[in-house]
Amino acid sequence: MSLELAAPRQSAPSVADDGVWLECIACSEQFAPFDDIRYTCDDCDGLLEVRYADPPTWDDFEGRGVWRYSAALPFAEGVTLPEGDTPLHDVPRLEEDIGVDRLRIKHEGMNPTGSFKDRGMTVGVRVAKELGVDRLACASTGNTSAALAAYGARGGMETLVLLPAGKVAAGKIAQASLHDARILEVDGNFDSCLDIVQDLAARGEAYLLNSLNPFRLEGQKTIGLEIMEQFRDEEGDYPDRIVLPVGNAGNTSALYKCFRELVQSGALAESDVPKLTGVQAEGAAPMVEAVEAGNDEVRRWESVETRATAIRIGNPVNAPKALPGIRNTGGTAVAVSDERITDAQRALAGEGVGVEPASAASVAGLRKLREQGRIAADEQVVCLTTGHLLKDPDAAFEAGDDPEPVPNDTDAVLAHLADD
């Protein structure tokens, strides 16, 4: 099976371009990477992956950021702002409170547009240039639109974003607007927007850059490469587990692909692969439902609702890649309430790490799994936080403390403080 953790290295087929090709994860059909625009398999409509004849080892990487890992990517450089090289925070009070041996926070909100989506766009927009397209498009809960608009602008390309009306945080719409994207608000949810964008792409009206596009995930797999290098260099070992929020399941798929390629090249032993653990909001948890039921497919949720707008998705398109990633690494998935997400957002803020609600889902999920005894106290864990606090300032304001009015007088201020 093509998605096994220990799948052997492949030889380059005749369709490969410099050792790079596309392969269907369902039927194994292979395609040239840049001759034609395709998002799924021509034969069976299965999801495609980018494959490499010569997956790299740690010694092949140099520089900083996403393009440090060019040996693991289809090109030597991309359309860059630059991106990657995000911090791996210590959170000692939170670590002690949750009760794990080591807890680090990989803060992807420190990318140029404030989310992990920049990693995928630096590669995806570069591929669009290679293919000669001139209009980019995405459906978005906000972060994808902001990243695509910025990287499209950097690449001098027209950008079209479709958003669910009234369901996207103002900070994210503002980014897409300022970067000169055409913003279409659809009377429907994210999944409806994605349906339309896929139809536009099928008609040749735009180049789709949602995570259905296999090249998007190539950039996102550098999150895994950075986590492994940073944790190894600072802690002396690899993490036991990576906990991450799940919306369309692109990051889960990308990290699993990263680990498979490291195992293929001999850079990583199977026993050192972290357990991938996905977290969804209770109001939008089709992946969790599939994992708990032992299903090979997810059931589309037509109605989804959560304050964690970035993961308010009922039909995760990358589930066929992500479900094997969770299972084959010995991971799991859990759903958490919006209240738990807000509590985790506050706890991270108490350590100085400011994230949007969806990001905090990873910490909320870790806490719930520890309480249930499904994660051991001796584990070393990395929680992935995917977007910056300022992506959703309204949610941050609601989660934070209210301002306290005081008179315009120093003594009155001191008196007010003394009353506490």
CA torsion through residues 131, 320, 301, 345, sign: negative
Same domain, 200 and 226: no
Domain count, the chain: 2
Of 188, 214, 240, at which residue does a domain stop? Answer: 214
Q: What are the tokens at 227? A: 């986590």
pTM of the model: 0.94
228 falls within a domain:
yes
5 falls within a domain:
no
Same domain, 198 and 335: no
Peptide bond into 74 cis (omega under 30): no
Give the pLDDT score at 310.
Answer: 87
153 falls within a domain:
yes
Same domain, 134 and 252: no
> How do beta strands 48-52 and 88-90 pair?
unpaired
Same domain, 339 and 198: no
Give the pLDDT score at 167.
Answer: 79
Same domain, 176 and 261: no
Q: Which residues are annotated as a binding site for pyridoxal 5'-phosphate?
A: 143, 247-251, 386
24 falls within a domain:
no
Give the pLDDT score at 116.
Answer: 97
20 falls within a domain:
no
Q: Which residues are annotated as a binding site?
A: 143, 247-251, 386
248 falls within a domain:
yes
- CA-CA distance, 18 to 386, in Å (whole number)? 33
Same domain, 175 and 107: no
Same domain, 168 and 248: no
Same domain, 231 and 353: yes
Of 180, 214, 248, at which residue does a domain stop? Answer: 214
Same domain, 152 and 244: no
Same domain, 221 and 368: yes
- CA-CA distance, 159 to 134, in Å (whole number)? 9
> Domain of 124?
117-214
Low-confidence ranges of the chain (pLDDT < 70): 1
Please identify which residue in the block is written with the tokens 């900083």: 64
Same domain, 297 and 326: yes
56 falls within a domain:
no
64 falls within a domain:
no
Q: What is the CATH number of the domain that holds 200?
A: 3.40.50.1100
Give the pLDDT score at 291.
Answer: 97
Give the pLDDT score at 166.
Answer: 83
Same domain, 242 and 129: no
Of 194, 214, 234, at which residue does a domain stop? Answer: 214
